[in-house]
Chains A and B, each alone.
Chain A
Amino acid sequence: MIELVRNVRLWFAPERIKEEGTTPDYRFSLANERTFLAWLRTSLALIGGGFAVDQFLPDLRWAWRVGLALGLLGAGVLCALRAVNHWIRCERAMRKGEDLPVSRFPALLSICVAVVAVAMVVVVLVGWEG
Chain B
Amino acid sequence: MTGPAQESGIGRDPGLQPERTRLAWRRTTLAATVAAVLAVKAALSGGPSAAGFVVCALFCGLWLGFLAVAHRRIRALSESGQPTVLTPGHASAAVLCTVALAVCAMVLVF
Is B105 an interface residue, CB under 8 A from the partner? yes
- Chain B 14-29 residues near chain A, CB threshold 8 A: 15, 17-18, 20-21, 24-25, 27-28
Question: What number of residue pairs across chains A and B have CB atoms under 8 A from each other?
Answer: 123
Which stretch (B3-11, B47-55, B78-86) binds chain A? Answer: B78-86
Is B106 an interface residue, CB under 8 A from the partner? yes
Name the distance in Å between A120's Cβ and chain B's nearest Cβ: 16
Contacts of B110 in A (CB 8 A): 66, 70
Could you tell me if A52 and B32 are in contact, using CB atoms closer than 8 angstroms? Answer: no
CA distance A31 to B34 in the complex (A): 25
Given A11-B91, A33-B21, A33-B86, answer yes or no on A51-B39 (Cβ-Cβ < 8 Å). Answer: yes
Name the distance in Å between A45's Cβ and chain B's nearest Cβ: 6
Number of residues from B at the complex interface, CB < 8 A = 40
Is A81 an interface residue, CB under 8 A from the partner? yes
- Chain A 83-111 residues near chain B, CB threshold 8 A: 83-84, 87-88, 91
Is B57 an interface residue, CB under 8 A from the partner? no
Tell me whether chain B's interface is mostly helix, strand or loop, or mixed: helix
Is B95 an interface residue, CB under 8 A from the partner? yes
Is B92 an interface residue, CB under 8 A from the partner? yes
Contacts of B99 in A (CB 8 A): 77, 80-81
Query: Which single member of B27, B35, B89, B95 contacts A81 (CB below 8 Å)?
Result: B95
Is A61 an interface residue, CB under 8 A from the partner? no
Could you tell me if A27 and B15 are in contact, using CB atoms closer than 8 angstroms? Answer: yes
Query: Which single member of B38, B87, B88, B90 contacts A48 (CB below 8 Å)?
Result: B38
Given A10-B88, A33-B21, A44-B28, answer yes or no on A70-B109 (Cβ-Cβ < 8 Å). Answer: yes
Instruction: Give residues in B with beta carbon < 8 Å to A.
Output: 13, 15, 17-18, 20-21, 24-25, 27-28, 31-32, 34-35, 38-39, 41-42, 45, 82-83, 85-92, 94-95, 98-99, 101-103, 105-106, 109-110
The 3 closest A-B CB pairs, nearest first, are A51-B38, A44-B31, A14-B87
